[in-house]
Amino acid sequence: QKEVEQDPGPLSVPEGAIVSLNCTYSNSAFQYFMWYRQYSRKGPELLMYTYSSGNKEDGRFTAQVDKSSKYISLFIRDSQPSDSATYLCAMTRINTNAGKSTFGDGTTLTVKP
């Protein structure tokens, strides 16, 4: 069983829709949670990161962490065609293997105009 499982997709939504992207994890040692966006043939780009349970908002993006359920989500409001990409969740243990992140397999999102 993988340490990080991500909803596989692909996901196709109309422009303006609210998108929910989700990951679960099995290792309670994960303390730092990140979301990356990856356009085709490009490297991943860090979107958001959070340490604590709860919500963190940045513009149209909200990252949600529920450590008790080992579940994280990324919500995209008012989705745009430019949001079409693969979204990767990633997690890191603090103080050991510092910075080494474990990634989900990614969810490919298409936002149709």
Partner 1 sequence: GAGVSQSPSNKVTEKGKDVELRCDPISGHTALYWYRQSLGQGLEFLIYFQGNSAPDKSGLPSDRFSAERTGGSVSTLTIQRTQQEDSAVYLCASSLAAASQLYEQYFGPGTRLTVT
Residues that bind partner 1 (CB under 8 A): 4, 6, 32, 34, 36, 41-46, 49, 88, 90, 92, 97-106
Give yes or no for a contact between 65 and 96, defined as CB atoms under 8 angstroms apart.
no
Peptide bond into 10 cis (omega under 30): yes
Give yes or no for a contact between 81 and 113, defined as CB atoms under 8 angstroms apart.
yes
Q: Which is nearer to partner 1, 49 or 61 (CB)?
A: 49
For residue 103, the minimal CB distance to partner 1 (Å) is 4
Identify the DSSP state of 37. E
Q: Which is nearer to partner 1, 90 or 111 (CB)?
A: 90
Q: Which is nearer to partner 1, 52 or 78 (CB)?
A: 52
